[in-house]
Structure 1
């Protein structure tokens, strides 16, 4: 069902058939739409990455923000975290099969963004 705006008997515009819960687009954006989230997923698409390397790849984001985004993605089953028994101990992050399903969306967004960039310059 799709929400609509109509005029009521008093001539006022009102919304009808409104969503009572987030629509599919909103649910998806809540998972991958946060700042740095898409970049983090995109950097994990080619294989496991250690935390510090990931922090270097996602320039401009603080380690605290990267940690928050990684926890968010892990909570949603998009990535997995593995503690590596090295000296010193390190942590690697890897995209899950479910997380990989978002890569095509992010790649389309990347291509669209590149086109938009050239149209606005």
Structure 2
């Protein structure tokens, strides 16, 4: 490892999946391909514009594959690459942490000024 490289790789992970919606998109794709409409329903609160942008960025980062079925009506779905699946596996401990601490964090954030 060079002297310029940080010891922790969080900078790399966050560059790929940083943001409010990308981890949720990745989470929902772990069980297999999903169409855009499915993801829009599953990732509650995301706008169509932001979802499109986030999906494009994840495809560019090499963690998703966009498959255009080239049919009428249009059918496009998204699938995790092996790199994307490894990222999802890395996110799962955070998912568990969130489940265990959901109430405590909500309470603390509610009290925050």
TM over 0.5: yes
Could you list the runs of 5+ residues in structure 1 that have no partner in the other structure? 2-18
Shift of residue 37, structure 1, vs aligned partner = 0.1
Cα separation, 2, equivalents of 1:114 and 1:54: 21
Shift of residue 21, structure 1, vs aligned partner = 6.4
Aligned pair 1:102/2:69, yes or no? no
Structure of higher RCO (CA pairs closer than 8 Å, 6+ residues apart): 2
Deviations 1:76-118 (A, max 9, x none): 1000001123320111000111100011222111111122223
Cα separation, 1, equivalents of 2:38 and 2:74: 14
Structure 1 vs Structure 2 CA RMSD: 1.9
TM-score (norm 2): 0.82
Shift of residue 20, structure 1, vs aligned partner = 5.5
Cα separation, 2, equivalents of 1:115 and 1:27: 26
3-state DSSP class of the match of 2:13? helix
Aligned pair 1:92/2:77, yes or no? yes
TM-score (norm 1): 0.77
Could you list the runs of 5+ residues in structure 2 that have no partner in the other structure? 108-113
Cα separation, 1, equivalents of 2:44 and 2:67: 23
Higher strand share: 1
* 1:1-121 equivalence runs, <5 A: 24-120=9-105, 121=107
- Between the two proteins, the alignment pairs up a number of residues equal to 104
Q: Which has the larger radius of gyration?
A: 1
